[in-house]
Structure 1
Amino acid sequence: MNERVRASRREILGWAMFDFANQAYTLLIITVVFGDLFTRIVVGDAPDYRLGNLLWSLSLATSYLLVVVCAPVAGAVMDAASAKKRFLFASYLLTVVATAALYFVAPGYAALGVLLLIVSNFAYSIGEAFIASFLPGLGPPRDLGKISGFGWALGYVGGLVATVFALLALGEVSEENFQRIRWVGPFAGGFFLVAAIPTFLWLRERGTPRPLPTLRDALATGFGRVRGTLSRLRLHRDLAVLLVSVFFAMSGIYIVIAYAFIYGAQVIGWDEPVRVVMFVLVQITAAAGALGFGWLQDRIGALRTYRITLWTWVLAVLLIHLTPELSVLLRSMGIDWQAQQVFLVVGCAAGMSLGACQSATRTLVGLFSPLSRSAEFFGFWGLSLKLAGAFGLVAVGLLQAWLGLRTAVLFCALLFFAAWLVSLRVDQGRGEAAAETGG
């Protein structure tokens, strides 16, 4: 049996600082600023922006499909060569460079924007799987919920810091303000570059690093270990079923992350101050959700916590769709709230669910992963996440082109409900026992 000993506080902080750093990319590029900039200004097919939305979806989906191809093999090679930090560092540098280059994406340069989005989001996304693969070695099973929740919470703090500074310095997304707002790429890349330094100073590489194999040997090793893992999945059936559930849940979450602020601009028609307030509220509630539900995971179990978050997501999506009607209902009751104000309240429910759900899934994968094959198993987790992102974004991109963005968002509620149904076949105790017997 592999013994899992809690890492030092400094090492755990170093691990969590990568979440702190990379949230600048997630929020500034994918969620808050660049998505709106790309669809409304760079592509600019007013009034409904359906082409811009579709190109946005296809760009992100392509990057996720590349992760699907690369993550499991990379994870196997990382385990074989004890090279997690080397792979993490390479993904980090590529993310920084490609993100900074988004400065050159101007109106009429949609093709360049698509290319840089694919490269930067691929590097960022595969780095998520790389950093997550360190989690099983940071503590015993009883502590992984708190450690994972701490990482997510610190990530939302990092996103809050980066985005508040960016919004104050760069201003609103508009054609008139383009020369300032185009600096969002270099700002996000620079923040990631500096804030992730503690990760590479304090996070340990467990195992003795060995020279990386040649490309041919690396592919042979990687595919060989992946085939071995697939053949043994019957011994890790709870992990396999969990990944199917995660596929549906993360399909919905990736849609929300990629379209939340686009939805606010195109459907709700919010003002700039409301956009800023929404961002702050979502970050605070997401951090609170990650910490609070991380604590809950270690008391009622990560699986039960995960199922609760799926139902909160179903409710949040339905409220997002009904925001205009809720505004009318409140006004009929004498409460003079515009749709954008109702959307702020709904955003808090979505924010809490966001941090809690992602933290719970990462904890479960950590609990179900043997220490000796953690990078490989988290490679499959990354595969499930990014395949989910590709599926969800292509689906919602096509649905919004056909039905409009407001109707298309209801697809997310179906995805979260499907994730809950599949999760009923997972047994947490059995999954942990399989991990402790080894790979």
Structure 2
Amino acid sequence: MGGRVMNDAALGALPSAPVRPSGRKVWAWAMWDWGTQPLNTVIITFVFSVYITGSAFGSENDTSIALSVSTMIAGLIVAVLAPVLGQASDRTGRTVRNLRWQTWAIALLAACLFFVAPAPGYLWLGLGLLGVASIVGEIANVNYYALIDQVATKKDVGRVSGFGWGLGYLGGIVALMLLYFGFIAPEVGLFGVSSHDGLDIRVSMLVCAVWIVGFTIPTFVALRDTPRPPALPVGILASYRMLWASLKRLWVEDRNTARFLVASALFRDGLSGVFAFGAVLAAQTFGFSAGEVIMFGAAANVVAGVSTIGFGFLDDRIGPKRVILLSLIALCGLGLGVFLLHDGGQIVFWTLGLAMCAFVGPAQSASRSFLARAIPDGRSGEIFGLYATTGRATSFLSPSLFGLAIAVGAAITRSETTQYFGILGIVVVLVAGLILMLAVTDPEQSHA
């Protein structure tokens, strides 16, 4: 494979000493995942995105296409900004400060969604706010991931990463259930809120804003920026010259991590597709009602959260690569099962769908712990920025192959109800990532 053998000094910013960071700091770090989870679970996935594509805002095709366009634009912006802002955090040492204002910005954007009334004229306002919130959230993740070196060592990073990811899933389910039973499901919910003029959804966005601010306070109380010598400001073009230089240096000095970034870009897109299109399959192929979809989403978050915490311990024992491979193999097999047994009724999706959720979180968490173990000292923000960028660079694959597989299924079966073929498109992406991951070694064993 060429290059040099990575020694302990090159394994990253993670401390190698047996002294563990305090449990209080681990909890405080993980609370950011709990606190910001409503952005993903409530706003982007199960509640606001469904609201903004509803009939009140226009025809189904028009609102769906508008959502896809706004999502694509947001993804491109993240791909452009994430590595540059990650470099800036590394140079200044202000990772915690940057994460704090980004978190407050997410909360403010969530609160602003209250003003998106159910009328066609508010469609692009809602999509614009949703897009900006997703951009800020993705960039905030870069800084959050980089802070793992304050709360974990190389010996326990798997457990810490799994704990944070799992706590995030559990936070999502608690927030979703609170809003569903408190405002959305009842004819008249808490504080007299009803569905008139979309108030049940709009008030839920205000609750999300309060949740985000309140539950992330421990993170900013316990964690501190690492002082760095004053650095001269670097412009955008200079940042990208530095980015290109870091990519070339990474390929020369640590080819294994470079390979991992490519492999993870593929399988992480497949993992995102499992959640992104699970609701579509549940509703259109297995006949779930809207309420049943939300209940499945709640159960999915519980399963994913518990399994991710459990697999975090396995990560530290057998290494993140094996956890990733095990998860991808299981997901491919279960995905094929969903396709083959699509006419078996709701019990099939409840069983196989929840089983798939048990492996999505562990693969995501092990991917983060893999990178945390491999990052060179002082480059956490930069490399996690590349991690976000490579993930966004392939984010079109799962949606494209999902739709293509459905079209192929329609052509083969001459039917207009072939959504279940879409799971095959996602499986193709997961298989591609699995194959590339076979050529990657765990950081402790890696050769550049």
Ranges in structure 1 where 5+ consecutive residues have no aligned partner: 328-338, 435-439
Check the 8 A contact 2:255/2:447 in 1, yes or no. Answer: no
Identical aligned pairs, as a percentage? 26
State the Cα deviation string for residues 352-402 of structure 1 (Å, max 9, x = none).
112111101001111110121111111111112222334434654677689
Check the 8 A contact 2:94/2:226 in 1, yes or no. Answer: no
Mapping for residues 226-245 of structure 1, pairs under 5 Å: 226-232=243-249, 233-245=251-263
Give the counterpart of 2:223 among 195, 203, 210: 203
Give the counterpart of 2:184 among 171, 174, 188: 171
**Corresponding residue for 1:128?**
141
State the Cα deviation string for residues 253-297 of structure 1 (Å, max 9, x = none).
222333332443344331355334312321221012211211111
State the Cα deviation string for residues 69-126 of structure 1 (Å, max 9, x = none).
0111111111111011122123212211222222233231322222112101101111
**What amino acid is aligned across from residue 82 of structure 1 in structure 2?**
G
CA RMSD for the aligned pairs?
2.7
User: Would the alpha carbon gap of residues 224 and 128 (structure 1) be closer, same or farther in structure 2, given more than 3 Å must change?
Assistant: same
Check the 8 A contact 1:33/1:173 in 2, yes or no. Answer: no
State the Cα deviation string for residues 42-62 of structure 1 (Å, max 9, x = none).
5453xxx44433333332222
**Corresponding residue for 1:346?**
352
How far apart, CA to CA, are the structure 2 residues paired with 1:185 and 1:149? Answer: 28
**Corresponding residue for 1:32?**
46
User: Would the alpha carbon gap of residues 114 and 184 (structure 1) be closer, same or farther in structure 2, given more than 3 Å must change?
Assistant: same
How far apart, CA to CA, are the structure 2 residues paired with 1:205 and 1:391? Answer: 37
How far apart, CA to CA, are the structure 1 residues paired with 2:61 and 2:421? Answer: 13
How far apart, CA to CA, are the structure 2 residues paired with 1:309 and 1:406? Answer: 21
Q: Which moved more, 1:54-63 or 1:231-240?
A: 54-63
**Corresponding residue for 1:324?**
342
**Corresponding residue for 1:140?**
153
What is the CA-CA distance between 1:12 and the residue it aligns to?
A: 1.4
Check the 8 A contact 2:110/2:206 in 1, yes or no. Answer: yes
**Corresponding residue for 2:426?**
412
**What amino acid is aligned across from residue 245 of structure 2 in structure 1?**
G
SS of the aligned residue for 2:227 comes to: coil
How far apart, CA to CA, are the structure 2 residues paired with 1:391 and 1:64? Answer: 13
**Corresponding residue for 1:313?**
331
Mapping for residues 23-422 of structure 1, pairs under 5 Å: 23-43=37-57, 45=59, 49-105=60-116, 106-108=118-120, 109-172=122-185, 178-208=198-228, 210=230, 213-214=232-233, 217-219=234-236, 222-232=239-249, 233-322=251-340, 324-327=342-345, 339=346, 341-393=347-399, 396=402, 405-422=419-436
SS of the aligned residue for 1:256 comes to: helix
User: Would the alpha carbon gap of residues 41 and 320 (structure 1) be closer, same or farther in structure 2, given more than 3 Å must change?
Assistant: farther
Check the 8 A contact 2:315/2:366 in 1, yes or no. Answer: yes
Aligned length: 416
**Corresponding residue for 2:5?**
none
SS of the aligned residue for 2:344 comes to: helix
Q: Which moved more, 1:380-389 or 1:12-21?
A: 380-389
User: Would the alpha carbon gap of residues 176 and 201 (structure 1) be closer, same or farther in structure 2, given more than 3 Å must change?
Assistant: closer
**What amino acid is aligned across from residue 228 of structure 1 in structure 2?**
A
Check the 8 A contact 1:297/1:305 in 2, yes or no. Answer: yes
Ranges in structure 2 where 5+ consecutive residues have no aligned partner: 1-8, 188-193, 411-417
How far apart, CA to CA, are the structure 1 residues paired with 2:85 and 2:404? Answer: 31
SS of the aligned residue for 1:324 comes to: coil
Q: Which moved more, 1:151-160 or 1:185-194?
A: 185-194
TM-score (norm 1): 0.86
State the Cα deviation string for residues 190-227 of structure 1 (Å, max 9, x = none).
2112111111111122233747x54xx24366334323
User: Would the alpha carbon gap of residues 37 and 397 (structure 1) be closer, same or farther in structure 2, given more than 3 Å must change?
Assistant: farther
How far apart, CA to CA, are the structure 2 residues paired with 1:322 and 1:42? Answer: 36
How far apart, CA to CA, are the structure 2 residues paired with 1:220 and 1:181? Answer: 42
How far apart, CA to CA, are the structure 1 residues paired with 2:157 and 2:62? Answer: 43
Check the 8 A contact 2:37/2:172 in 1, yes or no. Answer: yes
**Corresponding residue for 1:437?**
none
How far apart, CA to CA, are the structure 2 residues paired with 1:399 and 1:121? Answer: 27
